[in-house]
Structure 1
Amino acid sequence: MTACSGSETPTKSGSGGGGGLFTTIDVNRPGIDASAPANPFNPKGNSFQGYNSIKLAYFKNHLTDPNVFYPGAATSWELAPDNSSITIKLPPNGKWSDGKPVTAEDVKVSIGIAYTQGSTAFAITPGAAGAAADVTVVDPTTIKVTQDMTNPSAKFARGVMDTILVPAHIWNAVLPADFWDKLKLSRGTGAEADKAREEITGLGEKVIAFKPEKDITAGPFVLERVNPGEALLVKNKNYFNAANIAPDQVKFLNYTGNEQIWNYLISGKLDHAGFTAAPADVMNRIKQAPGSNVIKGFSPVSVGMAFNQTKKPYDNVHVRRGLAYLVDRQQVQQTASPEGGTPAATTSGIHQTPAKEWLGEELGKLEPYAHDVAKAEAEFKEAGLQKKDGKWALADGSPWKVTMTAPSGFSDWISAQENIKSQLVESGVDAEVVTVADYPLYLEEIAAGKYDIGFWLIALGPAPYDIYQRLYGASNGWTNVAGKVKHSPAGKAGNWMGGAEEVEIDGAKVNPGELTGKLNGASADDAKPMMVQLAKAANQDLPVIQLWDYVNTQFTNTTRFTGWPEQDSDLLRQPAGVWMQQGLLKVKK
């Protein structure tokens, strides 16, 4: 059975599997560059995660433990009880698409390349948390990676298993013969160590620019051809678990914005699309397409209305609290992301689903900031703001305009900000929405402190340190180097939030950045009381207003394939190619 995409003529697979064509888009990367290499490290590369790019393993969507995985190129692993090492096993029958065996040496070369990219477990910054201390080939299909326990991280294994596997017989060309000696030297101090680190980092650009003559992969598919409109992949007959893979071909369609994805879904062209924000009317049209199916699951991401506290009046907590009472979060979420989110119960810094696990009964004690105009006005008056002729002004009587910024193309963020603007104007607060060209520029400018208020993704679980470093990490002045947390003043070293170095929690002064730093090496049990303190800090001090918690909404079409993940499946955080690797998806008979 072969599926058509629009008016295109379906192609037959060279693998002879008879499984038909699976059509999708890469939600993480708009635009297909036909001239880009099949290089998984190149941001425009024609390498698609889970398809012709494969990792050692893929994390499960656990609420609190970052170190549980689905198999990828590795079929089994053993993590030391103290998290000091992980031993990884490859399948004995593993082969690259050119027929050469997949070995532990391939993993070692892949790790070497990860060092050039600044990977978390393979960072070369002296004292970096969770960095590997040694990489040892045990036998042709076994490799052991040990952690530097002078500054351990609870997510060390996750950093290791996140390694993208590439063939040593192709990629050896980008690593110098003395690479591992240079790496050992880089772990020291002094001028020679500094030079070695500089040389390893310099290799990163060489890795990104590398152009293999052809796509050699251990994944389930191989790139066959690419043009500006689409990339076509065919089944890798040498993939060690090829029996799990139903489609003979995968086609990635080009797009430049959400509107094209919506049109693909409405016309039934896509078998699968990952999370794509869509307004209610568009969502209804998508659902009406023959075979259309929506799968929803937990996504540990929330969006916050983030304040630059170096800008007045946002340096005053009562202004931030007043805005929290004034903004109706349910209205914002229903307008901006009706199918892709749930209104935040409160601001805790944690997605409300894992918040129940981390905070327990303390969650119910947090101030909910339910929509309340009277409380908002009381907070504004406490801050010294003035109300003249029905409009709020700054304490000195000068005009106050709330300026919010969003990147062009982020339809849900822009819709949310427009809704917030309407709510504020209705309550006497002047407001405007400004858009910038794209997300990279947005990140660059928000980090430079150019915005009064922007949207900021928070609550990035499951690791507790990752959750709170979005609020109390480098963007708010705290950096964690060699196990020691340092604070930089507002406007320095990427500190654009400009929050206070200490906040009051239950009558005592607490440094939330230092507390967040301690989470990096803490066990789940040790982390829980710290998570409670940080939730209280976020709730009382409001560096952001938590607006909505994302729901991972996936679009599928049941016309051509069956066996999709169930509702709330933790596989929804992974690409559909990973679903295929686990044996899901079958051709519809």
Structure 2
Amino acid sequence: MLNRKLTKLGAILVSALLISSVLVGCGGNSGESSSTEQKVSYNLGADPQTIDPGLNNSVEGGTVVSNAFEGLVDIDKNEKVIPGVASSWDISADKLTYTFHLRKNAKWSDGKPVKAKDFEFAWKRALAPETASDYAYQLYYLKNGEDYNEGKASKDSVGVKAVDDYTLKVELAAPTPYFLSLTAFPTYMPLREEIVTKDNKGWAAKKENYISNGPFYMTDWKLKSTMTFKKNPNYWNKSTVKLDTITYYMLAQESSATAAYTSGQIDINDNNLVPSVQKQDLIKKGEAKVYPYYGTYFYDINVGDKDSSNGAEITKALKNPKVREALTLAIDRESIVKNITKGGEKPATSFVPSSIKLSDGKAFKNKEYYSAKGDVKKAKALLAEAGYPDGKGFPTIQIMYNEGSNNQDVTQALQDMYKKNLNINVTLQSVERKVQLDNLTKQQYQICRASWIADYNDPMTFMDMYVTGGGNNNPGYSNSEYDALIKDAKSTPDTTKRIDDMHKAEDILMRDLPIIPVYEYTNVVEIKSYVKDFHKSPLGFVYFNNTYIKK
């Protein structure tokens, strides 16, 4: 899932004064508040592009969705599957048919019962070609799911059917060992057909439409400012929910976010919005914690044909694999994680991070595709072979990144390394998170900062992004051999062959390099000591269903 870094301490102090003077009294938890107040304020780090479960593809929107909705299963604090709306399920011997039994006391926030048809509708809606969901491919595991999305099969042939109000039958195209955990993912959340069909693309942008079935429901939404959610009195498991209120803030700048945290305006500053210059000191003092994060920070290179506005020279350069390899090898990743990010990150020498494990507990990563320090000599030689000796004749290219000083610092480091090591000129463009996501989807960029956080603990969550035409294939990359390996890995029952297929596919991806991996994530979070049972998943989402305040 797509994820979203201060250079001057003075900026933090100024922002602190501004935040404390402007935002004081707006509902944040202060040290003097009553110990019985069960409310938490959390910084999402950006205004979500959407909070529609079927359309969202970002961590920010996913966190909102995961606390407002509940899938067939939930994920506990140990990242294990537990019953959600489904109280139980049966799996056929061939692992192709799942029968979910829904609990009869599961209700929507308006009191209506959650029914099996709500899941059938939501899943088929996400697959429908007209919905254009970036995550439609996450439902290709369903029988005929891919064919329906591509217009080759009917909606009725898709392998999900409400047998009755409380029984959902699911047929898979092939055995999928992580399918159960997928049903806790936002795209698999239920939706109410009579609400969504009134405005298929815009229904979730209206507070009055946002009827949900999870622990919390929306009560207020101030665009680009805050979202407020209250405990859902109709949630079947409400007795275990301790918080009364969650307020989500959307502070994208590290200085503003940390100032709001310092002033007590927010209780949790997440999504790596702790300024790099402060990270180590805050971690040592115990004022910030480092959480594992299954993700890679990288840059997409536009190698597709969607956008012709880049110009012939830029398009020609970026479509040359020798140029892309030169851009990859010219980066000193060790320097970036040591001197810029400073949160325990690892240099990314592959696309799938070393944190991703196989079913036997071993890491999927089996090789370093290049040195963490780069290889400037080879990068120069490749650029010369591509027709740009010592950078001569190479067009000025633009790198887009979403706002935030940490992203700016990393991108500026790339700009400096490209000038020093390859003698090529790079301009930078900072945009809002929504704009970045929109431009990535439309492939309206040259090189753009990106990231991917695992949707589940399996290398496939990284590998199937880059199949031809994939919803999150933002570079517009296409390789038939790669596609075949991914398709085979998804259909073979042979575990050894499956892993081998994915290793071969990554070999191709790291040869063609439509992406420039930079580092493997950690997640440094500022969190107040009175916030208890905070569940930060290494998959990126935060779950508040067991969180409480103790002062």
SS at match of 2:451: strand
Q: Distance in 2 between matches of 1:448 and 1:585?
A: 38
Q: Structure 1 residue 73 and structure 2 residue 67: aligned?
A: no
Aligned in 2, Cα 1:243/1:340: closer, same or farther, shift over 3 Å?
A: farther
Q: What count of residue pairs does the alignment treat as equivalent?
A: 493
Contact in 2 for aligned 1:408/1:436 (Cα 8 Å): yes
Contact in 2 for aligned 1:27/1:274 (Cα 8 Å): yes
Partner of 2:518: 547
> Shift in Å at residue 296 of structure 1?
0.8
Deviations 1:197-249, CA, capped at 9 Å, x for gaps: xxxxx972375577747x65432233334446544333233322223222222
Identity of aligned pairs, percent?
18
Q: Distance in 2 between matches of 1:57 and 1:382?
A: 53
> Shift in Å at residue 99 of structure 1?
4.5
Q: Structure 1 residue 331 and structure 2 residue 347: aligned?
A: no
Deviations 1:21-73, CA, capped at 9 Å, x for gaps: 21123346359xxxx9x97669799993233333333468999xxxx634433
Partner of 1:7: 25
Matches within 5 A, 1:553-568: 553-558=524-529, 560-565=530-535
Partner of 1:29: 47
Contact in 2 for aligned 1:322/1:380 (Cα 8 Å): yes
Aligned in 2, Cα 1:403/1:219: closer, same or farther, shift over 3 Å?
A: same
Aligned mate of 1:350, from 347, 352, 356: 352
Contact in 2 for aligned 1:358/1:528 (Cα 8 Å): no
Q: Distance in 2 between matches of 1:542 and 1:39?
A: 32
Partner of 1:20: 38
> Shift in Å at residue 418 of structure 1?
0.8
Contact in 1 for aligned 2:303/2:475 (Cα 8 Å): yes
Q: Structure 1 residue 467 and structure 2 residue 456: aligned?
A: no
Aligned in 2, Cα 1:285/1:446: closer, same or farther, shift over 3 Å?
A: same
Partner of 1:172: 194
Partner of 2:71: 55
Aligned in 2, Cα 1:221/1:77: closer, same or farther, shift over 3 Å?
A: same
Gaps in structure 1 of 5+ consecutive residues: 12-16, 176-201, 387-391, 482-492, 503-510
Q: Distance in 2 between matches of 1:165 and 1:449?
A: 30
SS at match of 1:430: coil
Q: Aligned partner of 1:519: which letter?
A: A
Q: Distance in 2 between matches of 1:317 and 1:115?
A: 33
Matches within 5 A, 1:68-147: 69-108=81-120, 110-111=122-123, 114=126, 117=131, 118=133, 119=136, 120-121=138-139, 124-125=148-149, 126-127=151-152, 132-138=158-164, 140-147=165-172
Q: Distance in 1 between matches of 2:124 and 2:323?
A: 49
Gaps in structure 2 of 5+ consecutive residues: 1-19, 30-34, 305-313
Aligned mate of 1:429, from 411, 423, 434: 423
Contact in 1 for aligned 2:335/2:373 (Cα 8 Å): no
Deviations 1:532-565, CA, capped at 9 Å, x for gaps: 212322344433332111223333211x332334
Q: Aligned partner of 1:88: which letter?
A: F
Deviations 1:76-129, CA, capped at 9 Å, x for gaps: 333434342222233344344454544445545555655564554375424589
Contact in 1 for aligned 2:333/2:372 (Cα 8 Å): no
Q: Aligned partner of 2:64: which letter?
A: F
Q: Structure 1 residue 517 and structure 2 residue 487: aligned?
A: yes
Matches within 5 A, 1:339-488: 339=343, 341-344=345-348, 346=349, 348-354=350-356, 363-364=366-367, 366-368=369-371, 370-383=373-386, 385-386=388-389, 392-394=390-392, 398=393, 400-401=394-395, 403-427=397-421, 429-435=423-429, 437-442=431-436, 445=439, 451-457=445-451, 460=454, 462-470=457-465, 472-473=466-467, 478-479=468-469
Q: Which moved more, 1:291-300 or 1:154-163?
A: 154-163
Deviations 1:295-330, CA, capped at 9 Å, x for gaps: 411323342463649734445444444443331012
Contact in 1 for aligned 2:267/2:528 (Cα 8 Å): yes
Q: Distance in 1 between matches of 2:169 and 2:452?
A: 33
SS at match of 2:162: strand
Q: Structure 1 residue 298 and structure 2 residue 293: aligned?
A: yes
Partner of 2:504: 533
Aligned in 2, Cα 1:55/1:231: closer, same or farther, shift over 3 Å?
A: same
Aligned in 2, Cα 1:446/1:333: closer, same or farther, shift over 3 Å?
A: same
Q: What TM-score do the two structures reach when normalised by structure 1?
A: 0.68
Q: Structure 1 residue 237 and structure 2 residue 233: aligned?
A: yes
State the Cα RMSD in Å: 4.6
Contact in 1 for aligned 2:401/2:429 (Cα 8 Å): yes
Contact in 1 for aligned 2:301/2:475 (Cα 8 Å): no
Aligned in 2, Cα 1:366/1:445: closer, same or farther, shift over 3 Å?
A: closer
Contact in 2 for aligned 1:222/1:234 (Cα 8 Å): yes
Aligned in 2, Cα 1:135/1:362: closer, same or farther, shift over 3 Å?
A: closer
Deviations 1:165-221, CA, capped at 9 Å, x for gaps: 34x5xx53655xxxxxxxxxxxxxxxxxxxxxxxxxx972375577747x6543223
> Shift in Å at residue 402 of structure 1?
5.4
Partner of 2:543: 576
Q: Aligned partner of 1:21: which letter?
A: K
